[in-house]
Amino acid sequence: MKTEHYQVALHRLDIRFPEQLDGPTVLPSFRPFVTDDEGEPLLTMDVEIGAAPDFGQWEEIGQFDCGGANHGVYRDPQGGYAFEISLPDCDGGALSCCMTANADFTHCRAVLTGQTLRQHQFGLNNAMMMAYAFAAAEMDTLLVHASVIRNEGYGYLFTAPSGTGKSTHTHLWYQYIPGSDLMNDDNPVVRIVDGETRIYGSPWSGKTPCYRNIWAPVGAITRIEQKPENTIRRMAPVEAFAMLLPAVSSMKWDKRVYEGICHCISRLLRTTPIYLLGCRPDEEAAHVSHDAIAVRKSSQE
């Protein structure tokens, strides 16, 4: 076995590959996150190639559509988990990976069941994303479904259901708001570190290959809705909590994971402004949101 060390949002991840697999080839989006730093890993993932384990005796939690992929979730009597990960448009929806994990996701095993490199990449990448989100749930860490633009040193998250226009809006900032660059386009990591809410790039960025090992303090989080006019308002805390919770990777049936995520969101809301943006996909929308949410130097003095 060959062990590769990665660090995402200050959390170290150890992945042990069999000799016949090249880590950077199977997980190319992880290359910017390679680390030599020592320390206790958040989780360890053992990877192998083989046949799918039999989860027939496990309790089935459910079958979930996760952004076009199918994830079957099972639980054993000791509280451990199993996941079957399939990509519907890949080889007829064949199973790509099976992951098992202990109750706190610190020790995981991924069996790559697919026959192609694409299946190996898809299966292991998704296994790592879920293991990371659930292992870090009690550590003031959130994996958020959002597109993030950085401007003048602050990160701005735009969240919405898939297809609503998150990426379109951050692209408008990049095009029309000077000093803007894209941090992540699908699954950035939000962490509270020393009382500061931060946004980190991650190895998971959806269809846009934006895998940047960078971070910034969070300027604001904004929910996007398609509207015929460009308007924006700040949300009340209760409304903001209800909006943000579904955008975070979670398992509502798991008390440890769910309570950890709810606690982190509650802490975040004390210091982070949350907005609701109704917008068209045009230049004016970028200026309306920027003018309302951008951090001003005077507001930090």
| Domain edges within the chain | 2-135, 141-300
User: For residues 185 and 207, what is the distance between their CA atoms, to the nearest angstrom?
Assistant: 8
List the one residue out of 43, 10, 40 whose CA is nearest residue 109.
43
SS (H, E, C) 118-134: HHHHHHHHHHHHHHHHH
Let me know: does 188 contact 166? Beta carbons within 8 Å.
no
Helix-, strand-, coil-residue percentages of the chain, each rounded to 5:
30, 35, 35
pLDDT per residue over 82-108, tens digit each? 999 997 665 556 899 999 999 999 999
Exposure of 172 by Cβ count < 10 A (0-12 exposed, 13-18 middle, 19+ buried)? Answer: buried
Question: Which mean pLDDT values do the consecutive 10-residue runs of the chain (301 residues) have?
Answer: 96 97 96 93 97 93 80 93 84 83 98 93 95 98 98 97 91 97 97 97 95 98 97 98 96 96 97 97 98 77 41
- Dihedral pair phi/psi, residue 269, rounded to 5°: -65, -20
pLDDT per residue over 148-198, tens digit each? 999 999 999 999 988 889 999 999 999 999 999 999 999 999 999 999 999
CA distances (Å), 211 to each of 51, 208, 232, in order?
A: 31, 9, 29
Two tokens, residue 99? 């992951």
Options 2.40.50, 3.40.630, 3.40.50, 1.25.40; CATH for 141-300 is 3.40.50
Look up tokens 């062990």; give the residue. Answer: 3
Let me know: does 221 contact 274? Beta carbons within 8 Å.
yes
Cα 44 to the chain's mean position, in Å? 18
Q: Angle CA(169)–CA(87)–CA(128) in degrees, nearest 5?
A: 75
0.85 cut: is pTM over it?
A: yes
